[in-house]
Structure 1
Amino acid sequence: MSTKNMSTKILGIETSCDETGVAVFDEQEGIIAQALYSQIDIHAEYGGVVPELASRDHIRKTALLTEQVMSEAGLTKQDIDGVAFTQGPGLIGALLVGSTFGRSLAYSWGCKAIGVHHMEGHLLAPMLEQNKPEFPFIALLVSGGHTQLVDVKDLGDYEILGESIDDAAGEAFDKTAKIMGLGYPGGPMLARLAEQGVAGRYKFPRPMTDRPGLDFSFSGLKTFAANTLRDCDGSEQALADIAYAFQEAVVDTLMIKCRRALKQTGRKQLVVAGGVSANVSLRNGLNDLMSKVNGKAFYPRPEFCTDNGAMIAYAGFCRYKLGQFESLAIKAKPRWPMSELR
C-alpha cells in the first residue's frame, strides 16, 4: 500500500561537479536511503576535474543510483512526492545531466520537480543531524568552489557577508597540494601531511585580515607555499612543516573572519558546511572560538560535508513545503548567487 499521503518523501539528485549522489528524505524518518559515486579515479590522471568526463560519467551513473536508492528504500514511484535536483551553481554539463534527468523523472512519475541551489544544500546539511541549529545563524560555507560567510535569517533569507575574491579555500588546498606533488584530490592529503608538521618552522600570511571586511583571498597563500617549497631543503619533514603552516594560515584566516561576522551580527550559532568543513584542524579551531564567545558550532557528519544527494533531498523537501516548484522547462544555472533565492 502506498504511504505517499502519510509522510512527504523527496528524491534528491546531486550532479554539480564530480560526485553523483542520490538519496530519499522522509519527513518522519529523515534520510532513509542514499548512494554516492565519486569520480576521483577518473580525474586523478589529470590532476583535476575534467568537465566533459564528469558529465559523461553522471549520465552513466545517475539512473543506476536512482534505481538502487529506490530499491533500498523499498519505495515505488507512487511513494515519491517530489524530485529535487541540483540546478546550480556548478559545471554546466554536469548540472544539465541532473536537471534533465530529475525534471523528466518528476514529469513521468507525476510528482513535483524542485530545483535546488547547491550551496543551500550545504548550508542546510547540518539540519539532518540530531543536534541541529535554529534560525537565525551565521554560516561558513567552505568547499572547493566557494568560500562564503552568510547571515542566515531564515530559509531563503540569506545575506552574503563576505566571500572569496579569487581561489576558494578548498581550491587553495588542492592547488597547493598539487604544487607539493601530493596527488588528487589534494586537500585531504595535505591535511594528513600537516599532522606530521611542526609548528613555527614556517610562517604564512593571513590574507586580508589586516583590513576591515569579511571577504577572503587564498590565491596568495598558494604562491607563498610555492616560493617556500622552492627554497626549502626538500625533505619529508620540510614538506610536512609547509603543509602545517599552510593549513594553519587558512584555518586562522577563516576563524578571524568568523569572529568578525559573529560580532557584527550578534549571532551565537555558527554552521560550518562544505567539503573543507570536514577538516579536523578547522573544526577544533572553530569549536574553541565558539566556546570563547558562549556560542555553538554545528557541522554535518563527514559523509555529508562533500557533495551528496542527502543534502539536496532535504533542501528540496524544504522548498517543497514552501510550494516552490519548477515548470516544464529544463534549467541549469552554472552561476547562481544565493542572494537570488526566495
Structure 2
Amino acid sequence: MYNWHSMSKNLDKYEPKKIESKWPHSATQSGASRGKQAYNPDIIESKWQKLWEQEGFWQAVDFSRKPKFYTLIEFPYPSGAGLHVGHIRSWSAMDAYARKKRMQGYNVLYPIGWDAFGLPAENYALKMGVHPSKIVPENIKKFKAQIKSLGLSFDWSREIDTTDSKYYRWTQWIFLQFFKKGLAYQDDVPVNWCRSCKTNLADEEVLADGTHERCGTKTEKRMQKQWLLRITKYADRLLADLATVDYPQMISQQQINWIGRKEGIDISYEVEGVVEKIVCFTTRPDTNFGATFIVVGPEHPFVKKLSNSKFQPVLDRVETRSGIPNSTKEQIRKYVERATNKSEIERIAEGRKKTGVFTGFYAINQLNGSNKSDYGSP
C-alpha cells in the first residue's frame, strides 16, 4: 500500500500546471470572479477518484513488510433507498483514520462489502415485486456508484458479497466446524420480534419504549428456536485479551458487561407435588438459609409447562390444596403476556417496581426442608 509520501510522488506527474490560478482560495457567488476556470466538483473529483482507482492507491499489499493495520466497517444492507447520512457519518470518520494510518507507514486493509442476505433484502424485494436475485445486484450497483462518488478509500479489489457462493461456502464451512466441536447448538430462547419487518432484533435495536429503532413498530418478546454459539466457553479468554487492545475504558467496560462473567453456584430446588426441579444461580449461596421464595422468568420452561393441558390436573390439585381460585392459570397467562411485552431495558431498569404472580407451587429448600413460594416475574 502507498504511504502518503509515495502517493505524493506518484501524483506529481498528474497535477495540472498553474493549479493556483485556476482554483483561487476565495470564492464568491459570481463564477466570473473565480478566474477563468471555476472549481467544478463533478469534473475534478471524478478525475482524481478515477486515478486513485487505476493506480490502486488504496489496495492492501499481500506479504508487504510494512506493519499491518486492519479497519472494518459494518457492511451495509444494499436496500433500494441507497445511502443515508448515517453511512457517510461513520464511514468518513473511519476513512480519515485509515488514511492517517497509511500516512504513518502502515499497510492498511480497509475492505468493503455487502450484507445482502436476510430479511431486509427479501422484504424490499417483496415490496417491489421483484425476485431478490435480480433486485439485490441492482441495489449493489447503486450503492457502489454512490460510495465511489464520495471518494472513500476502500480497497475495492477485496469487495465481498455475502450472496456469492465463493463467500458463503466459507461461512458454512466454519459453522460446520463449530457444530462438530459442540460449539453450535439449537435452543428455545427469547427474541425481540418485529411484526412489521418480520425479523428478530438485537437488544440494541429496541428502544427504551419497546419499539424498533428503524420502523417504529412495537416489538414483542417471544420464544423461538435459534442456532446459538457457545461464546461463554471463551469468556475468560475474551476478558483476558481486553488487556491486549487499546480500547477506551468505556468500551472495555461495555465488553466486560456484555460477557457477563460471574462466579457462583447452581442450587436445585425440588417442586412440591410434581417431578420438577428449578435451578437457581447465585453468587451468594449463604443467603439461601434465609430465602423465602424463588422467582422464575416468564420464558422459563416451568412457566411454559403451566400452560400445557397435560399439567392441568396438577394445577387443579394445587388450587384445591392452596385455596387459589380456578383463575390461577389465566392469571399466569396474562402476567406472562404483559411481562414478555416489556423491553429488556424496562425489565432490568434500576428502581423498577417489582411485580409477580404466585404460581401456587412451593419449592423445597434442601438445607432446612422449608417451603418457598414460587413466583413468576420478569
On whether the aligned pair clears a TM of 0.5, the verdict is: no
1 or 2 for the larger relative contact order (CA 8 Å, sep ≥6)?
1
Please say which structure displays the higher CA radius of gyration.
2
TM-score, normalization by structure 1: 0.28
Q: TM-score, normalised by structure 2?
A: 0.26
